[in-house]
Amino acid sequence: MLRQTLTQKMQQKLSPQQIQLVKLLEVPALEMNERIMREVDENPALELGEDPHASEENDMSFEDEGGNNDDFSLDDYASDDDIPDYRFQLSGNGVEHRERVLVSSNISLHDFLQEQLDLQEMEPIESQVANFIVGSIDDDGYLRRSPESISDDLAIQLCLDVSVHKVREMICIIQSFDPPGVGAADLQECLLLQLRRKNQTPLVKNTVRLLEQFFDEFTKKHYDAIIKRMECGMDELKEMIQEIVKLNPKPGSVYGSTMEETMEGVTPDFFLENTDGILQLSMNNSSLPELHISHGYVGMVNDYNSNVKNQTREAREAILFAKQKVDSAKWFIEAVRQRQETLMCTMQAIIDYQYDYFLDGDEKNLKPMILKDIAEKTGYDISTISRVSSSKYIQTEFGIYPLKYFFTEAMQMDSGEEVSVLEIKNILRESVNSEDKDKPLTDEQLCDILANKGYVIARRTVAKYRDQLDIPVARLRREI
């Protein structure tokens, strides 16, 4: 039986303008200029530079035919199904946060290998095979392709019928190139290639034997088993380990990358200056161009609105196109403005919350903070704070930090006081750095150290924090 009913319900949807703003919030400073230039290329009504008619009456204040001006605000949107986990975990590796310096290399590893290859006397087919192998070497200097797969690729891509034996022969020639260790399939082969280039003293020969026969035991630091099976003393093993430490596990790392990113670094989105205890925040807008709407397009729309009846169909279609582009340009300029305002408001709230920390950079002053805390201070949605903090960096007097660094969980002490998890991780790091490397601290012992300081946490939690700090288990930290 069919029945007709009338119901009321509230439904909130994101308009295209709001979606545009949400996407811009996620864009870091390094990519914002590219995003603006792409919009300028796609929209002829959007122009770069200062508005030459800025002092005149604002022509952008025209209204739609229905008299509505579709201004929008960040507060207009909320996404119930797009709220991420707001308890960020510290994802650093425990090393100092330092400003990354732009690095450029004059020659890449592949160019260096190609120069050496060009000096070799080879048959045309051998030269093609060797060039293909050099192109398969990654930026660390490793050839992580088997001879069988290279032989198959040569047949498919270059229509060359090359035996696996010939491929291995070409690989051996390339492995004789500099830097020593290049073209190895794995770490073990890389280290052995470097050792075999050295003067074959008894120490080097024993080290080669260690890596050839006991590499698995060496990586797991089963030193007692190695001493027993090699029938050597502890001092001899120490000498062999010192010989291995001198080798380069990534022979290609000293050369530039062949990728387009020959220069890499972090571009901060914010700058924070401390002037006699007064914190001054500014945004990195040095590369962002000024935007304005083409007055030619605005004039076309205004002329149409004042003389609608006398327009032909073609003229109306052209004017409709112009109006759509002007609207899109107006929305984009407003979205950029609101992005700047939202980023500044959010970063200022973070600074106010962690004011003591930003004064001197002492991690002990870093308070527990989650996205919800900043959302309550700014009035924005949690998902908005998440987008703002994603892929953004701030430059301070004590280094460049990702915004996510300042969001940490809280841990309650015996006294009931809440402290940042980062403080506990610092204690773990300090304890490991000062431990006796001959008898490194186990997770149980680290638990006891924390408990004595008032931090009562489970062993599995200590293991989790240790993993987050990239600290290996006690057995792998042992030194002899």
The full length of the chain comes to 480
Of 83 and 301, the one with more pLDDT? 301
33-47, 59-73, 307-321 — which is least confidently predicted? 59-73
Concatenated DSSP letters for 145-176? S-HHHHHHHHHHHS-----HHHHHHHHHHHHT
Closest CA to 21 of 328, 334, 290: 334
Residue labelled with tokens 């025209």: 62
Question: What pLDDT band is residue 59 in, cutting at 50, 70 and 90?
Answer: very low
Q: Which amino acid is at 416?
A: G
The pair of three-digit structure tokens given for residue 195, joined into one six-digit string:
């050792």
Closest CA to 284 of 395, 387, 400: 395
Residue labelled with tokens 């797991």: 220
Question: What pLDDT band is residue 148 in, cutting at 50, 70 and 90?
Answer: very high
pLDDT value at position 308?
A: 59
pLDDT value at position 67?
A: 42
Average pLDDT over residues 414-432: 78
Taking 80 as the threshold, does the pLDDT of residue 112 lie above it? yes
Of 420 and 66, the one with more pLDDT? 420
Most trustworthy range by pLDDT among 12-21, 219-228, 419-428: 219-228
Question: What pLDDT band is residue 417 in, cutting at 50, 70 and 90?
Answer: low
Average pLDDT over residues 146-151: 93
Do 122 and 130 touch, CB atoms closer than 8 A? yes
List, in order, residues 6 or more apart from 453 with CB less than 8 Å away.
427
Taking 70 as the threshold, does the pLDDT of residue 147 lie above it? yes
Of 255 and 332, the one with more pLDDT? 332
Do 407 and 349 touch, CB atoms closer than 8 A? no
pLDDT value at position 43?
A: 86
Do 389 and 270 touch, CB atoms closer than 8 A? no
Any idea of the CA torsion for 338, 344, 345, 349, to the nearest 10 degrees?
160
Closest CA to 478 of 251, 220, 276, 127: 220
316-325, 413-422, 426-435, 452-461 — which is least confidently predicted? 413-422
Of 8 and 375, the one with more pLDDT? 375
Taking 80 as the threshold, does the pLDDT of residue 81 lie above it? no
Question: What pLDDT band is residue 312 in, cutting at 50, 70 and 90?
Answer: confident
Distance CA 68, CA 14 (A): 18
Query: pTM for the whole thing?
Result: 0.52
The pair of three-digit structure tokens given for residue 17, joined into one six-digit string:
């303008």
Closest CA to 117 of 161, 159, 171, 153: 171
Average pLDDT over residues 187-214: 93
pLDDT value at position 311?
A: 66
22-36, 76-90, 221-235, 386-400 — which is least confidently predicted? 76-90
Of 7 and 304, the one with more pLDDT? 7
Taking 70 as the threshold, does the pLDDT of residue 16 lie above it? no
21-25, 75-79, 341-345, 456-460 — which is least confidently predicted? 75-79
Question: What pLDDT band is residue 15 in, cutting at 50, 70 and 90?
Answer: low
pLDDT value at position 310?
A: 62
pLDDT value at position 407?
A: 86
Average pLDDT over residues 39-62: 68
Average pLDDT value over all residues in the chain: 80
Question: What pLDDT band is residue 72 in, cutting at 50, 70 and 90?
Answer: very low
175-189, 283-297, 462-476 — which is least confidently predicted? 283-297
Long-range contacts of the stretch 177-180 (C-beta < 8 A, 24+): 177/113, 177/116, 177/117, 178/112, 178/116, 179/141, 179/248, 179/251, 179/252, 179/254, 179/255, 180/248, 180/251
Q: Which domains does the chain have, with CATH numbers?
A: 16-50+76-81+276-289+325-403 (no CATH), 109-245 (no CATH), 409-477 (1.10.10.60)
Positive or negative: CA dihedral 39, 44, 50, 56: negative
pLDDT value at position 90?
A: 35
The pair of three-digit structure tokens given for residue 304, joined into one six-digit string:
């149409």
Taking 90 as the threshold, does the pLDDT of residue 183 lie above it? yes
Distance CA 340, CA 335 (A): 9
Any idea of the CA torsion for 300, 38, 348, 375, to the nearest 10 degrees?
90
Question: What pLDDT band is residue 273 in, cutting at 50, 70 and 90?
Answer: very high
Of 175 and 24, the one with more pLDDT? 175
SS3 of residue 324 by DSSP? helix
